[in-house]
């Protein structure tokens, strides 16, 4: 099932490339959060990993089975969703799963494919699967990828999907702090994927409520503006509204991006570890790029830019009204000593916080 994003014709919804910013950033920066052994392997392919981050979205117009892999409507399932695929099919039926989304199960599937690729030391396949799991993991960090109300269509907030995952990061993402430390080993990847999904889902009410409050603060009349685009004039969110919504979210988008970057490095590292930590080829194997016809590109901004939301998130504006429960520790985690980054691009250097309202949240050691 391919979901369409109805509602306003906004600038971000007509620009294909725009929505891909964060997926590419997640894949790219995850490389720099890897332990040194893996960093040396991944670093030469950072451009490929960046480009390929959006391939799963680009395929959505070609293959109908692709779309449900990008989301899960958790609110359409019973409170206790079976975490294993076999149990989920037995209890809920495959039709229902296909209808409401496969994201956590697909993450696990791709993870084990990546483990197998590491076992075989098949560089092109390792890289392809690494890029793809980066995409799906990014999607898992977006609260609106975990609800049937994915574009605010059930609450009169049409367009909120692209607003949250495209407009905000594109407007503010260059100033975020991307220092996330070094990846850790996940002993139980299935638990971790579900942990991420549940965390993201818990943020959905905040995503919606903050939009309502920002709208109220700015006023309906100042929420949108018009900009020329080629021969057309398109309606888009005003800077005043973007600033209000971003502030209302209290650092959520930045935190989600940071978590996705850090956890993607954990996924790559854990897959390699579960494959027995094989020595990796040091020659630069060519990577075959997936050819996708340009007329098949899927322009729905739902997944255009995907970040995630998890972690010990306590948005300032909601601290007293709605405190967040502590993140439970995943049993069996192995602590890996923090190291300094082998290669530190300029954008990863710590930057002074921009304002008193812009706080740093710790990265959850998932």
Residues that bind Zn ion (CB under 5 A): 57, 70, 139, 303
Q: Which two tokens stand for residue 323?
A: 């405190």
Going 139 to 141 to 144 to 146, the CA torsion angle's sign is positive
Closest contact distance (angstroms) between CB of 56 and Zn ion is 6
Instruction: Give the residue with the Cβ less far from Zn ion, 57 or 317.
Output: 57
Of all residues in the shown chain, the one whose CB is closest to Zn ion is 303
Closest contact distance (angstroms) between CB of 299 and Zn ion is 13
Instruction: Give the residue with the Cβ less far from Zn ion, 139 or 177.
Output: 139
Instruction: Give the residue with the Cβ less far from Zn ion, 73 or 139.
Output: 139
Going 72 to 77 to 81 to 82, the CA torsion angle's sign is negative
Instruction: Give the residue with the Cβ less far from Zn ion, 70 or 273.
Output: 70
The partner residues of 225 in beta bridges, in order of sequence, read 236
The partner residues of 224 in beta bridges, in order of sequence, read 237
Instruction: Give the residue with the Cβ less far from Zn ion, 20 or 272.
Output: 20
Closest contact distance (angstroms) between CB of 138 and Zn ion is 7
Closest contact distance (angstroms) between CB of 140 and Zn ion is 10
Closest contact distance (angstroms) between CB of 64 and Zn ion is 15
Is residue 177 within 8 Å of residue 327, measured between CB atoms? no
Instruction: Give the residue with the Cβ less far from Zn ion, 300 or 317.
Output: 300
- 226 phi and psi angles, rounded to 5 deg: -120, 135
Closest contact distance (angstroms) between CB of 252 and Zn ion is 19
Q: Which residues of 277-309 are buried (b: 16+ CB within 10 A; e: fewer)?
A: eeeeeeeeeebeeeebeeeebbebbbbbbbbbb
Instruction: Give the residue with the Cβ less far from Zn ion, 31 or 303.
Output: 303
Instruction: Give the residue with the Cβ less far from Zn ion, 30 or 275.
Output: 30
Instruction: Give the residue with the Cβ less far from Zn ion, 139 or 317.
Output: 139
Instruction: Give the residue with the Cβ less far from Zn ion, 201 or 274.
Output: 201
Closest contact distance (angstroms) between CB of 346 and Zn ion is 29
Burial class (CB within 10 angstroms; exposed 0-12, middle 13-18, buried 19+) of 319: exposed
């Amino acid at each position: 099932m391919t979901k369409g994003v109805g509602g306003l014709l906004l600038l971000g919804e007509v620009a294909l490339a725009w929505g891909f910013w964060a997926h590419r950033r997640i894949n790219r920066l995850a490389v720099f959060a890897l332990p040194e052994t893996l960093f040396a392997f991944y670093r030469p392919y950072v451009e490929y990993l960046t480009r390929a981050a959006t391939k799963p979205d680009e395929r959505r117009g070609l293959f109908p089975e692709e779309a449900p892999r990008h989301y899960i409507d958790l609110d359409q399932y019973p409170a206790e969703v079976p975490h294993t695929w076999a149990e989920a099919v037995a209890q809920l039926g495959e039709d229902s799963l296909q209808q409401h989304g496969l994201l956590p199960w697909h993450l696990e599937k791709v993870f084990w494919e990546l483990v197998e690729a590491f076992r075989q030391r098949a560089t092109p396949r390792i890289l392809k699967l690494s890029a793809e799991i980066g995409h799906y993991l990014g999607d898992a960090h977006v609260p609106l990828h975990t609800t049937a109300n994915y574009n605010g269509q059930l609450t009169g907030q049409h367009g909120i999907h692209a607003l949250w995952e495209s407009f905000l990061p594109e407007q503010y993402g260059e100033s975020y702090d991307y220092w996330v430390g070094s990846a850790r080993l996940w002993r139980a990847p299935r638990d971790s994927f579900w942990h991420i999904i549940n965390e993201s889902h818990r943020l959905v009410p905040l995503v919606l409520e903050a939009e309502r409050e920002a709208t109220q603060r700015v006023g309906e009349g100042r929420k949108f503006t018009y900009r020329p685009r080629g021969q057309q004039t398109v309606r888009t969110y005003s800077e005043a509204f973007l600033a209000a919504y971003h502030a209302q979210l209290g650092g959520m988008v930045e935190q989600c991006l940071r978590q996705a970057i850090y956890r993607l490095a954990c996924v790559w590292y854990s897959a390699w570890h579960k494959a027995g930590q094989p020595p990796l080829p040091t020659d630069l194997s060519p990577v075959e790029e997936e050819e996708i016809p340009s007329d098949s590109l899927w322009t729905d901004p739902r997944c255009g830019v995907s970040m995630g939301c998890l972690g010990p998130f306590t948005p300032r504006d909601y601290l007293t009204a709605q405190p967040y429960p502590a993140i439970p520790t995943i049993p069996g985690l192995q602590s890996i000593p923090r190291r300094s980054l082998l290669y530190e691009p300029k954008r990863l250097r710590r930057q002074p916080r921009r304002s008193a309202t812009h706080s740093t949240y710790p990265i959850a050691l998932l």
